[in-house]
Amino acid sequence: MGKKDALDSNGGFHRVSTFEDLDVWKVCRALRVAVANLVDTLPKEEKYRLADQLLRASRSVTANLAEGYGRFHYAENVQFARQARGSLYEILDHLSVACDERFISNETFQRKREEVLRAVAVVNGFIRYLAKAKANLTVNE
């Protein structure tokens, strides 16, 4: 796929040649790394339970954004971004379990919650951008 314009987190546009250039993917990648670091602090008996669920959900976010990018159609890209958003909310629920089970402090939970909700906001902005780009494409055809 050739280069195309994408909305950046500052409301401007920049050239994109791969999903790795998308600000939404970068934000979610940082969250994925943060979740992986957090998982390392969980009790060993949670390795195949909560830790595994957190890792899978965090990896699903960036994987869905990458797969949507590779579909080359706005509607499909939006659908994959929506799936990524769902995985973000799944992470939030798993974090609440970690807090409720006292695997993480309430302060850690609140910080991670803010990170997840920031990623949700960026994904929502990406979805709006894709919907608008599709509408503009349809108008210009």
The yes-or-no verdict on residue 15 having pLDDT over 60 is yes
Q: How many CA atoms lie within 13 A of 140 on its CB side?
A: 6
Name the region of 135 (left: φ>0; alpha: ψ -120 to 50; beta: rest): alpha
pLDDT tens digits for range 77-129: 999 999 999 999 999 999 999 999 999 999 999 999 999 999 999 999 999 99
**Separation of alpha carbons 141 and 122, rounded Å:** 29
- What does the pLDDT average to over 6-26? 74
pTM for the model: 0.86
Instruction: Domains for the chain: give ranges and CATH numbers.
Output: 4-140 (1.20.1440.60)
The yes-or-no verdict on residue 8 having pLDDT over 90 is no
**Separation of alpha carbons 32 and 16, rounded Å:** 21
Residue 67 identity (one-letter amino acid): E
Among 82, 86, 78, 84, CA closest to 134? 78
* Predicted pLDDT at 139: 57
